[in-house]
Chain A
Amino acid sequence: MTDLKPVPVPNADTQAFWDACNENRLLFQTCKDCGHTQFYPRAVCVSCESRNLKWHDSAKLGTVHSYTIVQRAPSPAFKADAPYLLALIDLDEGFRMMVNILNCPTDAASIGMKVHIVFEDREGQKVPQAAPLN
C-alpha cells in the first residue's frame, strides 16, 4: 500500500482530457448530433447514441452543488489532509465533476459557493481541483 494519492491513468476515452489538464486546460465533450454536454469523457453520447463527439475548453468556473467534510480518510494517502473538502461542482457549461475544494477552510464551504478550477500536480499528471473564486 503506497502513501501516494491516486494518479489517474488515462485511457483511449480520456487521453485528450488528461493531456489538456497538463496544460492547465479543462476539457468537456458535446455531441455534434444533438448538442448534449457530458462529463466524464466517453466514446458515445449518452443522450442520442451518437459517436460524433467534440471537445471544448471550459472557462473553469463553477458552483458547489454539494460538499462534505471527510473526517475519516479512505486510505493512508489522504490521512494527513483530513478533515478535507470533497465536492460535486457544476461547471458553468453544464457538466458536473467531483473535486476537492482547496485553499478553503472546511467551515467556509457552502452549497452555491462559486469556485474556479485549479490544477494539482500528482507525479507529473495534473488533476483538476476547485478553489474559492475570491
Chain B
Amino acid sequence: MPKHAVISGVHNTKVGSVPDSTVMSLHSEAAFGALADAGLKLSDIDGVLCAYAITETYPMLSSAFCEYVGVAPNFNAGLHGGGATAAMMAMQAAALVRNGDCRHVLCVAGENRLTGMTRDKAVAALAEFGHPQFEQPYGVNIPAAYALVAQRYLHETGATLEHLAALAVLHRTHAAMHPDAHMTEAITLDDVANARTISDPLRLLDCCLISDGGAAFIVSASETAGDMKKSSPAILGTGQGHTHEHILAAPSLTSFGCKMSSATAFGKAGVTTSDIDVAEIYDSFTITLLIELESIGFYEKGEAGEAALRGELTHGGKMPCNTHGGLLSFGHSGAAGGMFHIVEAVRQLRGEADIRQVPDANLAFVHGDGGILSAHCSMILGNT
C-alpha cells in the first residue's frame, strides 16, 4: 500500500473575463493542463472528482464531465462543500489512492461565473441564499452574513477597518505578480476605505471577485511518483471541521470549524504552524482570512490585521499568505476558487512560482471553507 498520496499535476486557466468559455470548456482546459503538467494521459486517470456549477446545471456534473471529455473512471463523484470543496476533493482523492481504489484521481472545477450568468440565474442564486424560513425573509445575502461576523469580530477584538483593508491591499499586490490573475491594478488602504459599503462594515474591496476560470489537480499514489515529469508534493495531513450551515445556527461568530480541521491536519502531518513556509487560505472576504489566520493558530485573536500591516503576510515576512492573490484579487469562479489555492501551493513547493516564489518553500498549509465559515477542510502539503 502506498505510503502517501501526492499531487502530481496542477493547472489553472486564465482567470477573469474569459469570453466564449463554458463550464465544460473550462473544466476540460484545466484538466488537460493538469495532465500535461503531470506528464499523464487522460487514459491514465482512474478516478474523477468534480464539484458543482450554477451557470450550466447538471444533475451529475462529474458524470457530465466524464462524458464530455471521454473518460470512464473506476470512481467518479461530485462533492458539494462550497469553498471547502477543492480541499475536500484532495482529502477524498488521497483516501482513494491510499486505499488502492485508484492510482490517479483527477480533481477539476471551473465556471464562467462572470460572463456566463444570465440575469435571471444571478437573481435566483441570490434569492436562494440562507435558511428558507428563518433567514431568507429578512433580506440576507452572502456579504450581509459575513458582515454579521465582521461586526462581532471588530467588537470583540478591537481590530479596525484598516486591518481588513490591509488584507485587501496584500492580495492585490500578490495578484499583480501572477500572469493569470483577474485584478492586478494597484490599490491602497485609502481605496479600500473609500470603496462603497456593501454591507456595513464590509466594503466593495473587502469582497471577493466574480470571475470566469477553471482549475484542476491530480492526486496520485506515491508509488507512481517516479513516473512523473516533475516533483510531486505529498499530502501529509488533512482534516475537516463542521459546525453549522446557516449563520443563525453558528455556535460562535468569531471561532469556527477551521480550528478543528487545522488541528487534525497538523496532528496527522506531525508539524505546527511555525513549520509552515507558505499558507494558501480561503479568502472569500477580508474578514474570512483574518478570522481563519487566528483560529488556525498563525496569530492570536485580533492580531492578524496588525501583522498584515507590518508586512508579515507577504514575501520576506513571517507567514507569506495567498501568494497568488486569492479570491480577493486572483479570482473566484465557483468551486475553482478554492482550487487556485491548491494550485499555488504546489507551484510554491516545486519552486515554480517565478517572481512570487517564497524561497525554500518545503511545507505549505492550504485551507478552504464553504458557506458562512460553515464547512472547513485543511491540508498540509510538503516536499518529501
Contacts and interface: CB of A to CB of B under 8 A. Distances in A.
**Do A and B share a complex?**
yes
A68 B200 contact: yes
Interface in B77-113: none
Contacts of B138: 86, 98-100
B139 A70 contact: yes
Contacts of B135: 98
Contacts of A6: 127, 132, 136-137
Nearest to A8: B133
Contact of A74 (B127, B148, B249): B127
Nearest to A18: B133
A98 B248 contact: yes
Interface in B137-154: 137-141, 143-144, 147-152
Contacts of B136: 6
A73 B200 CA distance: 12
Interface in B148-200: 148-152, 155, 196-200
Interface string A27-48: 0000000000001100000000
Contacts of A122: 137
A98 B140 contact: yes
Contacts of A1: 120, 123, 127
Q: Classify chain B's interface size.
A: 35 or more
Contacts of A77: 139
Contact of A5 (B139, B155, B199): B139
A74 B141 contact: yes
A80 B126 CA distance: 17
Contacts of B147: 68, 70
Contact of A66 (B139, B197, B249, B253): B253
Nearest to A83: B200
B151 to A, nearest CB: 5
Interface in A94-126: 96-100, 111, 122
A98 B247 CA distance: 9
A71 B196 contact: yes
A12 interface: no
Given A14-B133, A98-B135, A71 B198 contact: yes
A111 B143 CA distance: 19
A98 B134 CA distance: 7
Nearest to B251: A96
B230 interface: no
A66 B126 contact: no
Given A65-B253, A74-B126, A74-B127, A96 B248 contact: yes
B131 A40 contact: yes
Interface residues of A, number: 39
B148 A88 contact: yes
A100 B139 contact: yes
Interface string A74-97: 110110010110111000000011
B152 A65 contact: yes
Contacts of A88: 148, 247-248, 253
B134 A66 contact: no
B133 A73 contact: no
A99 B249 CA distance: 13
Given A66-B253, A69-B200, A86 B139 contact: yes
Nearest to B253: A66
B298 interface: no
A117 to B, nearest CB: 13
A9 B133 contact: yes
**Which of A8, A65, A98, A122 lies at the interface centre, i.e. has the most chain B CB atoms within 10 A of its CB?**
A98
B243 to A, nearest CB: 11
Given A65-B152, A66-B253, A68-B147, A86 B140 contact: yes
B135 to A, nearest CB: 5
Given A75-B139, A100-B139, A86 B133 contact: no
A105 B103 CA distance: 61
Nearest to B149: A66
B129 interface: yes
A84 B198 CA distance: 12
Contact of B148 (A7, A39, A83, A86): A86
A9 B132 CA distance: 8
A51 interface: no
Contacts of B202: 68
22 contacts: A40-B133, A65-B152, A65-B253, A66-B148, A68-B147, A68-B148, A70-B144, A70-B147, A70-B200, A71-B197, A72-B143, A74-B139, A74-B140, A74-B141, A83-B200, A96-B248, A98-B131, A98-B135, A98-B138, A98-B140, A111-B155, A122-B137
Interface of A: 1, 5-11, 14, 18, 39-40, 65-75, 77-78, 81, 83-84, 86-88, 96-100, 111, 122, 127
